[in-house]
Structure formats: C-alpha cells, structure tokens
Amino acid sequence: METGGSLPRPASPPGQVAGEQVHWEGLEETPEFKELVRARWRFVAPATVFFLAYYFALPLSNGLFPSVMRTEVIGHINLAYLFALSQFIVAWLLAFFYIRQATRVFDPLAEKVRQRAARGR
C-alpha cells in the first residue's frame, strides 16, 4: 500500500536526470511527436478562439444592443434567449468534433510515440 509522500517518479541522481532529459528531448524531436502536437494545436487553437468569441458575444450583444436582443422571434421568445440556447448546441457540437478528431487523429499518433518510447527510441 502506498503511504503517499512519493513524487510521481522517484528522485533521480543528477547524472540520471541529464540522461532522462536526453531521453525526453529525444522523444520531443521525433517526427511522430511533432506531428501530434501540430495536429492537436491545429484543432484546439482555432476551436478555443471560436468558443471564447462565440461565448462572449452573448453578454456583449446583450449589453451593447439591448433593443435588438429583445426582439421577439416566436411569440415572446426573444433573440437573447435563442442566442443563449444556441450556446448549448455549439458547446455540444464542438465537444463532438474534438472527440471525433482525437479518436481518429490524435490517438493513433500518440500510440506511435508510446511505442517508440517503449522501444527506448
């Protein structure tokens, strides 16, 4: 049984730290790893910018264009409520696309790096 107190990996003597550093930097330099990082950021960066922009558009337009947002679309359901509701749909869709991308693209690439690490480069 573990009693806590241990770091995720045991403390290593200085020489070993240098050796390990070479190991990890080596993995960082592999084409598979570079491709994984590039693929991930290519999705995550624009998706993050988009969801932040879309989200803050809601309070901003409520505050800046109140009369437009109070426009009633169906019965007394107004634009402000429909915009808020659309945030749920957008969040679910983005999550769906991320997970699909992760399963199709990121996971196989990560697996390649893990195999390389297991072979000891």
Partner 1 sequence: MSITLTLFLIVVGITLVITAWAARRTRTTVQFWAAGRSIKGWQNGLAIAGDYMSAASFLGIAGLIAFNGYDGFMYSVGWLVAYLTVLFLIAEPMRNTGKYTMADVLAYRMSPVPVRSAAAFSTVAVSAAYMMAQMIGAGSLIKILLPDLDKNLRPYFDWAIFGTKLDPSIALVGLMMMIYVIAGGMVATTWVQIVKAVLLMGGAILLSLLVLFYFNFNILSFFDKIYSVKDKATGLPFTSPGILYPYGKTTIWGVDKALVENVSLGMALILGTAGLPHILMRFFTVPNAKAARASVAWAMGLIGSFYIMTTFLGFGAAALIGKANICAQVVAGFKCAPGLKPNNNMSMPRLADFLGTHFFGTTGGEFLLAFIAAVAFATILAVVAGLTLAASSAFSHDFYVNVVRTHIFHGQVSEGEQVLVARVTAALVGLLSIWLAAKTGATANVAALVAGVAFVIAASANLPAILFTLFWKRFNTWGAVASLVGGTVVTIWLVAVGPGWTLPAVAHPEFPLQNVGIVAIPVGFALAIIGTLIGDLFKADRLAEVKFHEIDVRAQTGVGAEASPVAV
CA-to-CA separations, 1 to 4, 11, 120, in angstroms, rounded: 9, 19, 30
x/- binding map, residues 64-103, to partner 1, per CB under 8 A? x-x--xx---xxxxx-xx--xx-xx--xx-xxx-xx--xx
Number of residues that bind partner 1 (CB under 8 A): 60
Residue 28 parent element (H or E): helix 14-29
Classified as helix, coil or strand, 10 is coil
CA distance 88 to 48: 15
CA distance 94 to 44: 10
105 contacts partner 1 (rule: CB under 8 A): no
x/- binding map, residues 10-39, to partner 1, per CB under 8 A? -------x--xx--xx-xx----x--xx--
Cβ pair 70, 79 in contact under 8 A = yes
CA 6 to chain centre: 29
CA distance 2 to 112: 32
Residues 48-67 that bind partner 1 (CB under 8 A): 48, 51-52, 55-56, 58-60, 62-64, 66
Instruction: Give contact residues for partner 1 (rule: CB under 8 A).
Output: 1-5, 7-9, 17, 20-21, 24-25, 27-28, 33, 36-37, 40, 44, 47-48, 51-52, 55-56, 58-60, 62-64, 66, 69-70, 74-78, 80-81, 84-85, 87-88, 91-92, 94-96, 98-99, 102-103, 107, 110, 113-114, 117
